[in-house]
Amino acid sequence: MIICYECMTRDYLNGGKRDLESVQAGITTCEKCGKTRCCAEVSENLAKTETVEAKPPIKTGKTQATLDLEQAIWKATRKPMGTFCCFEVTIGYYGHERVDYITYDSKGIWRCYEIKSSKSDFHSKAALSFVGHYNYFVLTRDVYDQVKDDIPADIGVYVGRDLIKHPRRRALAIDEKILYASMIRSLYRYADDKLKCNTPSIVEQYKRDNERLKRENADMRRRGFEISMELSERRRAERLGVPFDADAFDRDVLGIKEETV
């Protein structure tokens, strides 16, 4: 089968692999896309490359809207240095209160966030654990439009990643030592769950697959370039009426050294 390098690269990106049978095709019509390009003769069978099946993510019981808000507030508040954050921080030993999200910065400021993805969630009987110096609701735009008149004056509001209402500072509602211990325990819980998990997350698997495809694509491009150069040198040798020295081409042009036994 005669196909061009672009089609071969597309096969690689789609998880397929073809074996080169010859490099004598040159500039001709691709049997797959029908375009006149630099082509090569390859095997008819398209073998699938081995891939590791990604396991589904762990079910959390949270709605997609809640997960989206968690990502939004994390991106809005996370900083490379000086700010530390944690989701679902249980306050106190065997405490019954849990803050959806807490940040603590190098200036000693505690910020607490309650994530509400619906109007019913906003008006639920669940306790609001606003125990920080600054406290916020994290809402969607629709929920904010419905409940904005019910938000206390000293509570700030994030709509997604955007801070649209600034909070007022107030004294901590509990002892700061309890906040330190609560955040440490919650961070440990998260790290412990991560380390006990024997399978990589689906995001990490996608990252590895993406890096593998990048390497395969780069190798394919390099091989295509080498074949194009060799075809060009073969045509030039034919025009000059001189034999083509493949070993000299590999050594002088491609820099491939001969293997020594």
Query: Last residue of a domain, which of 198, 219, 237?
Result: 198
| Best-predicted range by mean pLDDT (48-52, 59-63, 117-121) | 117-121
Structural domain ending residue among the three candidates 161, 176, 198: 198
> Scanning the structure block, which residue is given the tokens 């709509």?
159
Structure tokens at 217: 């694509």
User: What CATH number is given to the structural domain containing 155?
Assistant: 3.40.1350
Tokens 């619906």 sit on residue? 118
pLDDT of residue 51: 42
Q: Are strands 134-139 and 110-116 parallel, antiparallel or unpaired?
A: parallel
> Rounded to 5 degrees, what angle do the CA atoms 243, 246, 252 make?
110
Residues 183 and 232 both lie in one domain: no
**Residue 59 falls inside a structural domain:** no
Q: Does the pLDDT of residue 49 top 90, yes or no?
A: no
Is 258 inside a domain boundary? no
Co-location of 121 and 192 in the same domain: yes
Cα gap 73→159, rounded to integer Å: 9
Determine the Cα–Cα distance for residues 76 and 111; give it in Å rounded to an integer. Answer: 13
Range of the domain at 207: 2-52+203-252
Same domain, 144 and 104: yes
What percent of the chain is predicted at pLDDT more than 90? 33
Domain identity same for 18 and 102: no
Is 81 among the domain residues?
Answer: yes
Category of 61 on φ-ψ map: left (φ > 0), alpha (ψ -120 to 50) or beta? left
Give residue 243's pLDDT band: very low, low, confident or very high (50, 70, 90): confident
- Report how far residue 55's alpha carbon sits from residue 197's, in angstroms, rounded to the nearest whole number: 12
Burial 107-131 (b: 16+ CB within 10 A, else e): eeebbbbbbbbbbebbeeeeebbbb
How many Cβ atoms sit within 10 Å of the Cβ of residue 169?
10
Task: Measure the CA–CA gap between 150 and 173, rounded to whole angstroms.
Answer: 21
Domain count for the chain = 2
- Judgement on whether residues 69 and 123 belong to the same structural domain of the protein: yes
Question: What pTM was computed for the model?
Answer: 0.54
* Alpha carbons 33 and 168: distance in angstroms, whole number: 64
The last residue of one of the domains, among 198, 215, 231, is: 198
- Whether 80 is in a domain gets the answer yes
Its sign, for the CA torsion 45, 53, 69, 112, is negative
Per the CB < 8 A criterion, the answer to whether 13 and 213 are in contact is yes
Are 165 and 224 contained in the same domain?
no
pLDDT value at position 50? 44
Clarify whether residues 207 and 186 are in a common domain: no
- Distance from C-alpha of 158 to C-alpha of 139, rounded to nearest angstrom: 6
* Same domain (yes/no): 173, 77: yes
The verdict on 109 and 149 lying in the same domain is yes
Q: Do residues 142 and 240 share a domain?
A: no
- Do 76 and 186 fall within a single domain? yes
Q: Cα 74–80–83 angle (5° rounding)?
A: 65
Q: Where are the alpha helices (DSSP H) in 44-130?
A: 64-77, 119-122
Residues of the chain with pLDDT > 70: what percent? 69
Instruction: Kindly state whether residues 11 and 117 are assigned to the same domain.
Output: no
Q: Is residue 15 part of a domain?
A: yes
Residue corresponding to tokens 């989701």: 87
- pLDDT digit string, tens, across residues 140-152: 999 999 999 999 9
